Amino acid sequence: MKMRLWLRCISFVLLCCYGIQIGFAYKIPPVQLELKEEGFLVSIPHESGIENVAFNVNRNRPFKAFEQGEFSGRVSTETNNRWIFEIKRRLREDDTIYIWTDVQFNKNRFRSMSSPIMVSEVPSGVIAINEMVNDKKPVVITTETPPAIDPRNDICEPTLTIIRNRNACRGELIFEENFNGNELNATRWRYEVRMPLDIADAEFVLYDTNAEITNGMLKIEPRIWGNDNPNADIRRGNLNLGVRCTAYQNSDVECRRQAFGRVVLPPILTARINTKHAFSFKYGRVEVRAKLPQGDWLFPLLLLEPLANLYGQQAYASGQMRIAFIRSNLNLQTSDGIEMGGRVLYGGAVLRPEASYRNTFMVNTSRDAHFGETFHIYSLTWDDQRLSFEVDGQKYGSIDGGFAQHEMGHNYAWTNGNHMAPLDQEVCF
């Protein structure tokens, strides 16, 4: 029996539609790089109309898109007629520097990618790096804006996508995770540690730090809890997660539990991670490359959940979007002989916990092979009109908004939102 969920790559991309053309052109001037003894500066000259400037800088790593750099910061005040960003990191002679700049000019945003700077190729007439170190004088290197860049990238075209209450630009990659290194990146992800009882259809498991990262893959493998704890007794035992517990709702029962009678401790240990503390967004396209598990009664979920539960915390009042899920059984059919095991992929929205409502806003597709046989790319595109679902680039369904028109028990609250309410608020992975 195969029981692993492998995630290879997760990316969040803003919608490539709803752009607003800007009717005039502002050209970002060449970026100046100045080497200092304790680091370096990047800057552009001030012009009337500039409101703030953001710099993103990488050492020895080209930008794939307008993404966050190794060093990044937004400058809100000009100094001596220049917009200056200081970086406290000395450069080496063999470093290559990559820079892109974001300028807010007369309420509009413009972006430009500069040509790479090879620090060893100091222009003639400028003090060399070694001389700079000895004499404590700056070296000034000016970049040229490459003419080959698509001019559409020089203007930030606003979209529907919002990231932590700021608008994103068309074509911007707003989040990417490749699970590099040997452990989960704590600045982006956190483990949930709790016994879930926050919803009526919660999984009967214990969420803990039961995952590993190997060769650029996050692996989650459910295990029988008693196998790791020989002295554990799920029928008569007591479990207290203490300060490790991350429950924010129903903490009395999600953090500690005493087994008695028909109340038993969760028999399965698994993992659940989220970006709630670090990343959230509203509207965009999500792609996840994953190998789903194979095995009876395994239920992998790739989710988007509300950041703030503005419509309420109970009974999915604020909604949940499922990028993808399967019932991982190798053989599972309804009483009518309809396939519902691992060869059927589902995606959609959950707005009530009851089984009678669970398929109301779901789409699915079937294949001859189990979805856990290999990696697939699962995609969700979410805008202010609908949800659209793809697997390996093939669209298999969409769900229109207007959920408040359905009898779901939360309608009175959803009427305060837009066409997609309750799916009109920022979510996290």
pLDDT at 227: 65
The answer to whether residue 312 scores a pLDDT higher than 70 is yes
User: Does 246 lie in the same domain as 279?
Assistant: no
Domain assignment present for 185? no
Environment class of 260 (CB within 10 Å of its CB; exposed 0-12, middle 13-18, buried 19+): exposed
User: Does 332 lie in the same domain as 369?
Assistant: yes
Domain assignment present for 13? no
Structure tokens at 97: 């520097």
Per residue in 249-283, pLDDT tens? 777 888 998 888 888 888 889 999 999 888 899 99
User: Does 307 lie in the same domain as 199?
Assistant: no
Structure tokens at 69: 């750099």
| Closest to 157 measured CA to CA, from 12, 13, 15, 11 | 15
User: Does 251 lie in the same domain as 306?
Assistant: no
Domain assignment present for 184? no
CB atoms within 10 A of CB 429: 23
Domain assignment present for 100? yes
The residue that leads in pLDDT, 201 or 148, is 201
d(CA 10, CA 175): 8
Q: What is the CATH number of the domain that holds 119?
A: 2.60.40.2140
Taking every pair of Cα atoms in the chain, the longest distance, rounded to a whole number of angstroms, is: 85
User: Does 403 lie in the same domain as 360?
Assistant: yes
d(CA 67, CA 99): 11
Mean pLDDT (the chain, rounded): 81
Per residue in 355-382, pLDDT tens? 888 889 999 999 999 999 999 999 999 9
Domain assignment present for 76? yes
User: Does 391 lie in the same domain as 327?
Assistant: yes
The answer to whether residue 395 scores a pLDDT higher than 70 is yes
Give the pLDDT band of residue 125 (cuts 50, 70, 90): very low
The residue that leads in pLDDT, 131 or 88, is 88
Of 28-32, 251-255, 323-327, 401-405, give the lowest mean pLDDT range: 251-255
Measured distance between the N- and C-terminal CA atoms of the chain, rounded to whole angstroms: 28
Domain assignment present for 24? no
Per residue in 80-97, pLDDT tens? 999 999 998 888 887 888
* Strand pairing class (117-118; 82-87): unpaired
Q: Domain end: 219, 254, 273, which one?
A: 273
pLDDT at 35: 84
Structure tokens at 411: 């309608």
Q: Dihedral sign, CA of 80, 84, 88, 91?
A: negative
Alpha carbon distances (Å) from 84 to 46, 109, 130, 177, 406? 10, 18, 24, 30, 54
Q: Domain end: 273, 293, 325, which one?
A: 273
State mean pLDDT over 382-402: 95
d(CA 313, CA 74): 35
Structure tokens at 264: 């038993």
User: Does 224 lie in the same domain as 123?
Assistant: no
Environment class of 228 (CB within 10 Å of its CB; exposed 0-12, middle 13-18, buried 19+): exposed
* 371 CB-near residues (< 8 Å, 6+ apart): 292, 326, 342, 343, 345
b/e per residue, 179-206, with b = 16+ CB within 10 A? beeeebeeebbbbbbbbbbbbeeebebb
Range of the domain at 231: 190-273
pLDDT at 284: 92
User: Does 150 lie in the same domain as 47?
Assistant: yes
pLDDT at 66: 75
Number of structural domains in the chain:
3
State mean pLDDT over 124-148: 36
Give the pLDDT band of residue 119 (cuts 50, 70, 90): confident
Give the pLDDT band of residue 121 (cuts 50, 70, 90): low
Model confidence, pTM: 0.68
The answer to whether residue 150 scores a pLDDT higher than 50 is no
The answer to whether residue 152 scores a pLDDT higher than 60 is no
User: Does 213 lie in the same domain as 305?
Assistant: no
User: Does 119 lie in the same domain as 131?
Assistant: yes
User: Does 367 lie in the same domain as 264?
Assistant: no
Amino acid letter, residue 392? D
* 114 CB-near residues (< 8 Å, 6+ apart): 30, 31, 98, 99, 100, 101, 143, 144, 145, 146
Domain assignment present for 9? no
Q: What are phi and psi of 198, to 5 degrees?
A: -85, -10
User: Does 428 lie in the same domain as 346?
Assistant: yes
Domain assignment present for 3? no
